[in-house]
Chains A and B, each alone.
Chain A
Amino acid sequence: MTAAKEQLLPVVSDVIADLKHKPGALLPILHEIQNRLGYIPPESVPLIAESLNQSRADIHGVISFYHQFRSTAPGKHTVEVCRAEACQAMGARQLEAHAKASLGVDYHGTTSDNNITLEEVYCLGNCACSPSVRINDEIIGRVTPEKFDQLIDGLRSQALEVH
């Protein structure tokens, strides 16, 4: 995820070559770039535009329309807190406030150690065991502020082991 800029564009070119033949290829291309790099580097926009025979404005318009796509690198882990009604009914507003305060960031922000990016999400489909949080590709239910802290501690100690 922290590859130098010059290493990014070959990845982007590979993804485009793999997927551009698909009908309606743009979303699959954007997803795959973000899967591999963690975000969609602005430098990739002209490459995508040229290969799909669209304008750069078209590509930028699509990237900016969808909440999922980002143009800057995220932290090592992405933590999404569900804001929707079923979670609200079980204390999600308090959980959101706790998440922001304990991480010291607002939504779309990344902690100063570059470890955690906080995002909002509207429904993870776990509405019978809410409130819910998603960490990377894992969804966790019945998240109290205490459980949230444990999950974050787990991510932080994991980061220490790696380095």
Chain B
Amino acid sequence: MSVTKVFIPRDTTALAMGADQLAREIAAEAANRGETIEIIRNGSRGLFWLEPLVEVETNTGRIAYGPVTSQDIDSLFDQAFLSGATDHPLCQGLTEEIPYLKKQQRLTFARAGITDPVSLDDYQQLDGFNGLKKALQMDGQTIVDEVKASGLRGRGGAAFPTGIKWQTVLDATSPKQQKYIVCNADEGDSGTFADRMVMEADPYMLIEGMTIAGLAVGADQGYIYLRSEYPVAYQILNEAIAKAEAAGFLGENILDSGKTFNLEVRLGAKAYICGEETSLLESLEGKRGMVRAKPPLPAIVGLFGQPTIVNNVLSLAAVPYILSNGGQAYADYGMGRSLGTLPFQLAGNIKRGGLIELAFGVTLRELLEEYGGGTFSERPMRAVQVGGPLCAYLPESQWDTPMDYESFQAVGAALGHGGIVVFDDTVDMSAQARFSMEFCVAESCGKCTPCRIGSTRGVEVIDRIRNDENRAANMELLSDLCDTMIDGSLCAMGGMTPFPVQSAVKHFPEDFNQPAQNNNGARS
């Protein structure tokens, strides 16, 4: 009797929608009915509105069913889902043919959801470690040149050219003969989950990318600084690192090359500021996450004072593809100076939220409408925050902006880490502006005054505006305060907190012109 393979993801969102219980119940029901199945806990495809997405392997490909709940199990078995029957109302057809997925250009997320994330066999069957094997035959400068040729820019938000950063670390001398690779996995922006998906769906890709970075610049130690809000990613990364070490892909004498690269996951402790690279390094050193003044750059004086590459998860995850297929193959995607692909993340009040990897240049409206399908609440969309809590809210008049770094900069917005948070027409933009300041109060490291004190004053000023106290004067004061924070803050925390505030004031002035209805953030 043949064994039917059933895939049920172990990704955070799938689990948050009940995947663990579902897997247990499907196993029990199969046993009940005398069916022989093998349940594989894969990563997510990133089609989060369909989670838990259950896939069944058939001769023609994997057939998807979702979102599956406990109540659907009987009918799925009754309607022969194990043989891939397509008449069940939850059947989405062949997974690869679902338009949301099919229209994407998946490079970084090519394996996501297809494989068991901790299976080394699965990873290698789909090109895994090809980049590492090539890198082991190259010298450091040649690896760095390949990354430069790809045009890859840091995916954490600042979009600094990755190859240039690597070159700086390669050229830096370390009296202690010690350099480090640090992966910034402190993905704190609301509306973003691409880093989490890499770590939960394809952790070996990150491990491979970091190892290649180590070979490139001569670093034998790497750290993944992971936010503690991601317990599932922590578990999967540690499983993957242990297996990669045991199989000789990591640790001493990698693939008998004589080269060494050790890797350790370190947990943050609920501090948004530690996503800022110098604060992250302080935290890794066991200190308060206080931002350091730059220069010196971390590439020259980084972790424990040594030359250090600090890259975002997505930047490092793009490296195996670049080494395997060549920098030019990567640069062939994208437009202008925004080359390659960016995983956009649709979140908040959206019908079909999930991860969409595309070349730069798609418009925001295409993402919101064609992929997202409108709001979850089915009310009109009103505001869209792109790039995280430090980036602007965009009104409908800006939704035709192409999604690339330069076009967004031109309208006073930023792509950040590619997160897109949708709000419907019940949103109160003065409450959102207040929250931006409130978040900065909670998360400022406190080193510089504009951020530490400015944010507190910002909350007070917006409260006065919302309470209709001396409105005109307070609006002017808010404008001044924003300028002071932008010009006078040490890092992006205080320097960018005003962006969502200013965009709310500029594009949604009506929400600042009347007393707030309540403090709940909803216009009633």
Interface residues of A (CB under 8 A from B): 23-28, 30-31, 52, 61-62, 65-69, 84-90, 93-94, 97, 121-130, 132, 134, 137-142
A14 to chain B, nearest CB (A): 19
Name the CB-closest residue of A to B423: A89
Q: Which residues of A contact B51 (CB under 8 A)?
A: 129
A24-B304, A142-B17 are known; give 8 further A-B pairs, CB within 8 A.
A24-B286, A85-B385, A88-B521, A93-B520, A121-B270, A128-B350, A129-B17, A139-B232
Shortest CB–CB separation between residue A64 and chain B, in angstroms? 8
Residue of A nearest to B190 (CB): A84
B376 to A90, Cβ gap below 8 A? yes
CB distance from B491 to the nearest CB of A (A): 16
Asked if residues B12 and A125 are in contact (CB atoms below 8 Å), the reply is yes
Partner of B522, one of A27, A93, A125: A93
- Cβ–Cβ < 8 Å partners of A31 in chain B: 228, 267, 269
12 residue pairs A–B, Cβ–Cβ below 8 Å: A27-B284, A62-B288, A68-B269, A85-B190, A85-B348, A88-B435, A94-B520, A123-B192, A127-B347, A130-B347, A134-B229, A141-B17
Q: Compute how far the CA of A66 lies from the CA of B268 in the bound complex, rounded to whole angstroms.
A: 9
| A132 CA to B229 CA, complexed, in Å | 12
Q: Could you tell me which B residues sit within 8 Å of A by CB distance?
A: 12-13, 15-17, 48-49, 51, 187-193, 196, 228-232, 266-272, 283-289, 304, 345-350, 353-354, 376, 385, 389, 419, 421-424, 427, 431-432, 435, 439, 442-443, 445, 520-522
Q: Which of B284, B304, B349, B431 makes the CB contact (< 8 A) with A90?
A: B349
Chain A residues, Cβ within 8 Å of B348? 85-86, 88-90, 127, 130
Q: Which residue of A lies closest to B16 (CB)?
A: A141
> Chain A contacts of B15 at CB under 8 A?
138-139
Residues of B within 8 A of A52 (CB): 286
Cβ of B422: which chain A residues have Cβ within 8 Å of it? 89
Closest-by-CB residue of B relative to A131 is B348
Q: Would you call B229 and A123 a contact (CB within 8 A)?
A: yes
The distance in angstroms between the C-alpha atoms of A69 and B48, with both chains bound, is 32
Which residue of B16, B229, B232, B389 is within 8 Å of A129 (Cβ)?
Answer: B16
Does B287 contact A89, Cβ atoms closer than 8 Å?
no
Residues in B neighbouring A121, C-beta threshold 8 A = 229, 270
Pick the 6 closest A-B CB pairs, nearest first. A128-B353, A26-B286, A84-B190, A89-B348, A127-B347, A66-B269
Please judge, given known A-B contacts A89-B421, A97-B520, A128-B347, whether A66 and B17 are in contact too, CB under 8 Å: no
Contact check: which of B191, B284, B345 meets A24 at CB < 8 Å? B284
Residue of A68, A94, A128 near B270 (CB, 8 A) is A68
**A86 and B286 contacting across the interface, CB-CB below 8 Å:** no
Chain B min CB distance to A113 (Å): 25
B435–A86 CB distance below 8 A: no
**Looking at the complex, which one of B229, B354, B427, B520 makes contact with A128 (CB distance below 8 Å)?**
B354
Chain A residues positioned under 8 Å from B269 (CB to CB) = 27, 30-31, 66-69
Give the distance to chain A from B377, nearest Cβ to Cβ, in Å.
Answer: 8
Chain B residue with Cβ nearest A25: B286
Contact residues in A for B266 (Cβ distance below 8 Å) = 24, 27-28
* Given A85-B190, A128-B48, also A122-B439 (CB < 8 A): yes
For residue B223, give the distance in angstroms from its CB to the closest CB of chain A.
9
Residue contact A61 to B288, C-beta cutoff 8 Å:
yes
| Residues of chain B with a CB closer than 8 A to A67's CB | 269-271, 442
Nearest chain A CB to B279 CB, angstrom units: 10
Q: A85-B190, A93-B520 are in contact. Are A126 and B12 (CB under 8 A)?
A: yes
Which B residues touch A122, using CB under 8 A?
188, 190, 270, 272, 439, 442-443
Are A89's CB and B427's CB within 8 A?
yes
A62 to B432, CA, bound (A): 30
